[in-house]
Structure 1
Amino acid sequence: MSSDPWGRVDETGTVYVRTADGEKVVGSWQAGSPEEALAYFKRKYEGLVVEIGLLEKRVQTTDLSAKDALASIDHLREQVDAHHAVGDLDALRVRLDNLVGMVEARREKRRAQRARQAEEARRAKEALVAEAEELAQSDQWRAAGERLRALVETWKGLPRLDRRSDDELWHRFSHARSAFSKRRKAHFAQLDAQREEARRIKERLVAEAEALSDSTDWGPTAARYRELMAEWKAAGRAQREHEEDLWNRFRGAQDVFFAARSAVFAERDAEQAENLKLKEELAEEAEKLLPITDLKAARAAFRSINERWEAIGHVPREARARIEGRLHAVERAIQEAEEAEWRRTNPEARARAADLADQLQAAVDKLKGQIEQARAQSNTAKAGKLEKELEGRQALLDQALKGLREFGG
């Protein structure tokens, strides 16, 4: 008979293993000495040790699923419980029990992680819905439309929630987008209708202006032209493709009438000379409004000057361009100030300027990083090429930032 601390072989060749529950039969050995029998079954035990060790490593270092891990543990436990090896089988059972605990802990951790991710996705989608519902009431059609499209792309990148929650949030999100689209469509339809109405009004004004162009009833006709001009301004703008043509016809008809009147009044040089003197005084008064510091006050003052100017009448033909040019220069300055004020307060233009500045800044930052990387790699040729590109981008960025500062940003 032969034995060691974990097993023995009796005189019949039966091999036993010692466990906490007593000796268990491992098998029968008739092919050699008892020492060879113990060595054989010890090697089987060592094989189990290796397999358990490998499984422990996979559980600790890979993304092995809990289902597969537990199946492997059960398979190894069956081999240990079969008692076909000589060694500390109780220690192997303890290691397998510990592995079960490790797998369960990791499964619980993953479950908690999935729950946390689901909650984060829920909060993210609720935030998208809240922003979309707020944007649905916006009148910044371009900026809000672009932002809603960006929100859709963000939504697509988020994981799905449970079906009911995801459907409810998507319904609110989709409803907000639809509401915005309907409001935008209605707005531009109304705008188109207004421009179409302006076109019809201006066509009527043009027809009347052209009908009056050959009138010789100088006073009343001139007064009516002034009324037509006021109606023209009150009508608003027609569609871009019609506005300029209508204006040229309207202004041309007036020019025909006033040219004819000027020819008739050629003998009234003295009156026209006096008119010139009065208009020069008004031009001086208008020029004192420059530079424009108070747009509202300048506009009101110029309106008064212009009304008095129109009331004065014609000046000698050779002086007309010069004197009107002086007033028009002030008028253009006021218009430019109005346009500058509009550009400065136009949120859509400011948003576009800010977006351009952000894009150029990102490009500059990226180039700087590439230059540093090239220098770090001692690639002077690439660094030089990137520096030239950086100069161009930086110049564009400086221009964009200058434009943004004009918006007060």
Structure 2
Amino acid sequence: MSSDPWGRVDETGTVYVRTTDGEQVVGSWQAGTPDEALAYFERKYEGLVVEIGLLERRVKTTDLSSKDAQVAISHIREQVDAHHAVGDLDALKVRLDKLVETVDARREERKAQRAKQSDEARHSKEALVVEAEELAQSDQWRAAGERLRALVDTWKGLPRLDRKSDDELWHRFSHARSAFSKRRKAHFASLDAQREEARKTKEKLVAEAESLSASSDWGPTAARYRELMADWKAAGRAQREHEDDLWNRFRGAQDVFFAARSSVFAERDAEQTENLKLKEELAEEAEKLVPVQDLKAARAAFRSINERWEAIGHVPRDARPKVEGRMHAVERALQESEETEWRRTNPEARARAEGLTGQLQAAVDKLQGQIETARSAGNGAKADKLQRELDGRQALLEQALKGLHEFGG
């Protein structure tokens, strides 16, 4: 018979382990000496010690879930309770009991942490809703639209609450965004309506201007043309595709009349020569507004110049195209700056650009994942083919991002 402090082997080859509950049968050993039997079951004990040590470190140093930890503890406890090892099994049970306490404490700690995170998420989402509802009333279409998009991104990054609370807050958040979009759409629809009204008004002004172009009643007709010009300016801008054509017709009708008047009043050549000098000075003053740095200030300055221009009167007919062309070039530059600003702040065009960018980014992300999967699987040919496709998509994405950058995004 052979024994050690934690076990023994009797004459029949039965192996026992000593516990606080008395000796427990470990197993039967017939393949060698009693010392070999004890050594074998002592190694099994050391294996259990190693398993428990590893599990203790995992519980303390990793994010092992409580459920998985309990399963692992139960698995080891079954082996300890089965007494198939020789060693201090009671000490192992104590370690397992302490490990259960640690897991329970971690579970409560995580539960409290989740509750805290949920409370923080609730406050964050409520703050987002309040800000979105305030922005819904804003008339700063570009800034408010950009901020609402940023709020959506922030919302997506926050944890979900309970379904009822989350749905209620999201409903308010979504309603605020919809209200803003509706107001913005109505605003730009109103602008379109104003441009259409301006087109109709200017068509009437053109018709009258053309009917007066053959008049020889110089004084009253010239006065009426000045009134028509004032009405033209007051009418606002029509749609871009109509504005230039209407202006050319309007100005052309006036040119016909004033050219005829100039031929009759040839004696005014001297005066018109002086007018030309003054208009050339105004044209030079206007040309200093280009390139446009401050559109609003440039527009105001140009209106002032134009008012002085109109007050000067006519210039010699042969000099008119050149000097007026200089003014028209400045006006076109201002109009182009307005159009550029409009395109840059156009929410529909921006939305399309963002949509395209998002689609391309998603495609790039997907291809990158597929490439990693192919390389992990050792499929280099497929990975290379996907890489060529990714290079093409990334080039398109760079172009789309450049386009989006023109909107200030």
**TM-score, normalization by structure 1:** 0.66
Letter in 1 for 2:222: A
Contact 2:199 2:238 in 1 (8 A): yes
User: Could you tell me how far apart the structure 2 residues matched to 1:301 and 1:69 are?
Assistant: 81
What is the aligned partner in structure 2 of residue 56 from structure 1? 53
Cα separation, partners in 2 of 1:231 and 1:328, compared to 1, 3 Å: same
User: Could you tell me how far apart the structure 2 residues matched to 1:30 and 1:316 are?
Assistant: 127
User: Could you tell me how far apart the structure 1 residues matched to 2:159 and 2:12 are?
Assistant: 67
**Is residue 2:309 matched to residue 1:306?**
yes
Which runs of structure 2 are paired with 1:74-113 in the superposition (5 Å)? 74-113=74-113
User: Could you tell me how far apart the structure 1 residues matched to 2:343 and 2:201 are?
Assistant: 31
What is the aligned partner in structure 2 of residue 221 from structure 1? 221
**Is residue 2:28 matched to residue 1:25?**
no
Deviation at 1:174, TM superposition (A): 0.6
Cα separation, partners in 2 of 1:288 and 1:134, compared to 1, 3 Å: same
SS in 1 for 2:57: helix
Residues 38-96 of structure 1 deviation map (CA, whole Å, 9 limit, x = unaligned): 65355335314313422431452465432232233234334433445432122211221
Contact 2:213 2:257 in 1 (8 A): yes
User: Could you tell me how far apart the structure 1 residues matched to 2:118 and 2:128 are?
Assistant: 15
**Is residue 2:266 matched to residue 1:269?**
yes
Cα separation, partners in 2 of 1:81 and 1:278, compared to 1, 3 Å: closer
What is the aligned partner in structure 2 of residue 40 from structure 1? 37
What is the aligned partner in structure 1 of residue 367 from structure 2? none
Cα separation, partners in 2 of 1:39 and 1:104, compared to 1, 3 Å: farther
Which runs of structure 2 are paired with 1:3-402 in the superposition (5 Å)? 3-8=3-8, 16-21=16-21, 23-26=22-25, 31=30, 36=34, 39-40=36-37, 43-61=40-58, 63-115=63-115, 117-119=117-119, 121-122=121-122, 125-126=125-126, 128-142=128-142, 144-263=144-263, 265=264, 268-270=265-267, 272-276=268-272, 279=275, 282-283=278-279, 286=282, 302=305, 305-310=308-313, 314=314, 316-318=316-318, 320=320, 325=323
Name structure 2 gaps, 5 residues minimum: 346-397
Contact 1:41 1:84 in 2 (8 A): no
User: Could you tell me how far apart the structure 2 residues matched to 1:29 and 1:321 are?
Assistant: 118
SS in 1 for 2:160: coil
Cα separation, partners in 2 of 1:40 and 1:252, compared to 1, 3 Å: same
Contact 1:14 1:25 in 2 (8 A): no
User: Could you tell me how far apart the structure 2 residues matched to 1:302 and 1:29 are?
Assistant: 113
SS in 2 for 1:87: coil
Contact 2:15 2:37 in 1 (8 A): no
What is the aligned partner in structure 2 of residue 358 from structure 1? none
Letter in 2 for 1:218: W
Contact 1:42 1:85 in 2 (8 A): no
Deviation at 1:124, TM superposition (A): 5.0
User: Could you tell me how far apart the structure 1 residues matched to 2:308 and 2:27 are?
Assistant: 125
Deviation at 1:13, TM superposition (A): 6.9
SS in 2 for 1:24: strand
User: Could you tell me how far apart the structure 1 residues matched to 2:143 and 2:105 are?
Assistant: 49
Deviation at 1:191, TM superposition (A): 0.7
SS in 1 for 2:238: coil
User: Could you tell me how far apart the structure 1 residues matched to 2:276 and 2:27 are?
Assistant: 131
Contact 1:282 1:305 in 2 (8 A): no
SS in 2 for 1:279: helix
User: Could you tell me how far apart the structure 2 residues matched to 1:28 and 1:328 are?
Assistant: 110
**Paired-residue identity, %:** 60
Deviation at 1:229, TM superposition (A): 0.8
Name structure 1 gaps, 5 residues minimum: 350-392, 398-402
Letter in 2 for 1:306: W
Contact 2:17 2:86 in 1 (8 A): yes
Greater shift, 54-63 or 278-287, is seen at 278-287
Contact 1:26 1:86 in 2 (8 A): no
Cα separation, partners in 2 of 1:81 and 1:257, compared to 1, 3 Å: same
Whichever of the two has the greater Rg, that structure is: 1
SS in 1 for 2:18: strand
Letter in 2 for 1:269: A
SS in 2 for 1:18: strand
Letter in 1 for 2:272: L
Deviation at 1:257, TM superposition (A): 1.9
Greater shift, 89-98 or 51-60, is seen at 51-60
Cα separation, partners in 2 of 1:230 and 1:145, compared to 1, 3 Å: same
Greater shift, 60-69 or 6-15, is seen at 6-15
User: Could you tell me how far apart the structure 1 residues matched to 2:337 and 2:29 are?
Assistant: 107
Cα separation, partners in 2 of 1:164 and 1:52, compared to 1, 3 Å: farther
User: Could you tell me how far apart the structure 1 residues matched to 2:310 and 2:96 are?
Assistant: 101
User: Could you tell me how far apart the structure 2 residues matched to 1:13 and 1:127 are?
Assistant: 75
User: Could you tell me how far apart the structure 1 residues matched to 2:30 and 2:256 are?
Assistant: 131
Cα separation, partners in 2 of 1:206 and 1:12, compared to 1, 3 Å: closer
Paired residue total: 345
Greater shift, 286-295 or 160-169, is seen at 286-295
Contact 1:143 1:348 in 2 (8 A): no
Cα separation, partners in 2 of 1:225 and 1:96, compared to 1, 3 Å: same
Cα separation, partners in 2 of 1:157 and 1:123, compared to 1, 3 Å: same
Deviation at 1:98, TM superposition (A): 2.8
Cα separation, partners in 2 of 1:340 and 1:127, compared to 1, 3 Å: farther
Letter in 1 for 2:234: A
